[in-house]
Structure 1
Amino acid sequence: MDKIMMWVMAICALIGGVDQLAGNKFGLGRRFEDGFQLLGPTALSMAGLICITPLLSLGLEHTIVPLYRILHLDPGMLGGVLAIDMGGYQLCKELAQDPAIGRYGGIIVGATLGCTITFTIPVGMGMLGEREKPLFAKGILAGLCMHPVGILTGGLMCGVSLGKLLFQSIPVLILAILLVFGISRFPDGMIHGFRIFATVIRSAGTIGIALGAFSYMTGLQLLPGLTPLDEALKVVSSIGIVLLGSLPFAEILQRLLKNPLEWIGEKIGLGRNGTAGLLVGIVSALPVIADMKRMNEREIVMNAALLVCGTSMVAAHLGFVLGVDAPATGALLAGKLTGGIAGVWMAWRIMK
């Protein structure tokens, strides 16, 4: 699966490059260029956190990890509360006793629950108006309710047995339940907490980049144990290379799915804006959130539900996994697809 996807990305990168040279006649050259331009933002969000991952791991080793071991839980699940591309994958990999659990926590949980906590919720609640916020929250709740479908599917494809998967997922499922309760009962307080958490993560990344840059230029480490910044940037660069193909691929996929999804949208009561949101959502959450002001109530809830598991499925997250752990590509796609569809179905049932 991973080799097939890598070939597809490579071919799409060639197509995008050729279209760019031809003057962007088919709109794929622009997406090719977008992939390259994402290197900067990707580096800002990832490189610093990769630098300080050993320190985060050390801190957790002396605090929460002993409790996990007493409970026979794999500490590799701890990093799953961070987005896959915001240090979650590296932290899970660093802490994991079982590599399969580290892969499951860092890729499957990090690309769904971690992304929802550190990005989708704080960004969405910060961008949306008063009409959209409660509907967005309702959609997030629907997505979280069906989140286990996605992570269990992805976990099984990571090679983890069902019994082990269920046991190791207990903290994640408890956290998801608490989030559902908190968002439904104390939405303002929860959103404030998410924003603080996201700010802390961004600040930690900035500190990591600054310390890494100082160490690279002087040879002195202000904090021992940091991952060298140039090594962190190698990881980012590998992801950026894949993005050169994954964004044109996402554009092609959106065009191929446009008519079928519009037909499905008509059957389930989605208008053009709602259907377009589902198409864009598998690429990026930001444009969907920005367009929610033009959606009706059902469309907002269903699109928000998709974002919990399905966002960035064929763009940033796919590019990340192909860049750092290609054999897990099938697990990522299966988990995000099943979880996203289940979330949309739950939202449709709620709004029916």
Structure 2
Amino acid sequence: MENIGTYIIWIIMACAVAGAIASLRDEEKGLGGEFITGLHSIGPIFIPVAGIMAAIPYLSKFINAVFGPLYNALGSDAAIAATTFIAVDMGGYQLADALAQTREAWVIAMVTGYMAGATIVFSIPVGLAMLDKRDHKYMALGVMAGILSIPIGVFVTCIITMVTNVQVRDIVSANADAAYVLALSLGGILAHLTPLIIFCLAMAVGLWLVPSIMVRGFLAFGNTMTATLKLVLVFSIVEYFTGAFSTILGGWGFDPIIADTVDQFRALEIAGYIGIMLCGAFPMVYLIQKHLARPMEAIGSKLGLESNGAAGILAAAANILAMFRLIGDMRAKDKVLCIAFSVCAA
């Protein structure tokens, strides 16, 4: 089971090679075009990724100060507040470690970050950047519908962890012994998830009573986030080349966006990593659409999806950005379903 991810990577890399060879003949369309498009996606992806990662220090302080006390008051943990908004691999893991009152809360926060945090700081801004504006309303509905399932996804994951008596590392490390036995309980899990449950119930009521207002609110949130991230990015670029803000203000609290001696895998490197992965993921999706259309139609019919929708579900299970590539070819219903699925699955 643990090798499934490795197998998928090898398949994507094989598709990248096939796409590169095809691009030698035609880089405008077909398999070669998908290879080139994957590489060209680095630019649009870099804008939101760089803005978010640069702003992590201030974002962390804001979440801890505003949402941390609220989560604690509801019987949860400030660590879960952190990963509700910040993805695990964008600083949420370390921040949750610093805030968590127990190792159990830390692990629950980590699971939350894979679903909620990744959606808010990555999927939303990157999706808005990659998708055609005509599809933004479908993304809004899909993301909000998907968010409703996050408490269920976290709950099920934690229950499985509790039942199987999983041992984990009790420190942030890649090679320490996994010797800590989690003392999860049903009541403890539900208590930690209380703020998320309340938020999702409120969102469900809003979608039921005033769906158009909810969509407009989501788009306003997304557009405000996009504008803010662009400003953070350009100021970070100015600071990198001139040091102007450090000179004028006496300091610069944002994180660097380019690798340095402290961290060799920052925003520019992450955007590049995503792009070189997509140069294989996009050709893979193209090949699935072209050569597996009938199986996709058969699977889709059982799920109430068209073939492109079924391919989107398959793509989302591997990489949400590969799924975004298919959104333009789907009918409205399938767009919403695929995006909703990707919130917890991608």
TM-score band, normalised by the shorter chain?
Answer: 0.5 to 0.7
Cα deviation 1:138-168 (Å, max 9, x = unaligned): x778656655555556665897868465544
CA distance in 1, matches of 2:128, 2:24: 38
Normalized against structure 2, the TM-score is what? 0.68
* Offset, 1:120: 7.2
1:201 and 2:240 correspond:
no
Deviation of the 1:277 alpha carbon: 3.2
Match of residue 205, structure 2, among 181, 184, 191 = 181
When normalised by structure 1's length, the TM-score is 0.67
Return the match for 2:257 from 224, 229, 240. 229
Unpaired stretches in structure 2, ≥5 consecutive residues:
101-105, 169-181, 260-266, 317-321
Return the letter of the residue paired with 1:93: Y
Q: Is the Cα–Cα contact under 8 Å of residues 31 and 247 in structure 1 kept in the other structure? A: yes
- The structure that is helix-richer by fraction is 1
- Once the two structures are superposed, residues 252-290 of structure 1 have per-residue CA deviations (whole angstroms, 9 ceiling, x without a partner) of 3334542122124445665xxx332342464334753x5
Q: Counterparts of 1:295-334 in structure 2 under 5 Å?
A: 295=331, 300-301=332-333, 303-310=335-342
Structure 1 79/224 Cα, relative in aligned 2: closer, same or farther at 3 Å?
same
CA RMSD of aligned residues (A): 4.0
The alpha carbon displacement at 1:60 in A equals: 2.0
User: Match of 2:256, as an amino acid?
Assistant: P
**Relative to 1, partners in 2 of residues 1:74 and 1:207: Cα closer, same or farther, differing over 3 Å?**
farther
| Contact 1:76–1:102 (8 Å) recurs in 2 | yes
Q: CA deviation at 1:126?
A: 6.6
What's the secondary structure of 1:180's corresponding residue? helix
Structure with higher Rg: it is: 2
Seen in structure 2, the aligned counterparts of structure 1 residues 48 and 127 have a Cα distance that, compared at 3 Å, is same
Identify if the C-alpha distance between structure 1 residues 291 and 4 changes in structure 2 by more than 3 Å, giving closer, same or farther.
closer
Which letter maps to 1:210?
Answer: V
- The offset of 1:234, in angstroms, is 1.7
Q: In the alignment, which residue of structure 2 is the partner of 1:46?
A: 49
Q: Summarize the alignment of residues 134-153 of structure 1 with structure 2, pairs less than 5 Å apart.
A: 146=149, 148=151, 150-152=153-155
Measured in 1, the distance between the counterparts of 2:128 and 2:276 equals: 28
Q: Which residue of 1 aligns with 2:90?
A: 90
Alignment of 1:119-158 (within 5 A): 127=134, 146=149, 148=151, 150-152=153-155
CA contact (8 A) 1:95 1:102 kept: no
Q: 1:145 to 1:251 in 2, by over 3 A?
A: same
Where does the alignment leave 5 or more consecutive residues of structure 1 unmatched? 312-334, 338-352
5 Å-filtered alignment, 1:186-265, equals 186-220=210-244, 221=246, 224-231=252-259, 232-265=267-300
The one-letter amino acid of 1:195's match is L
Q: Say which of 95, 99, 111 aligns to 1:104.
A: 111
Matched residues, number: 296
> What percent of counterpart residues are identical?
24
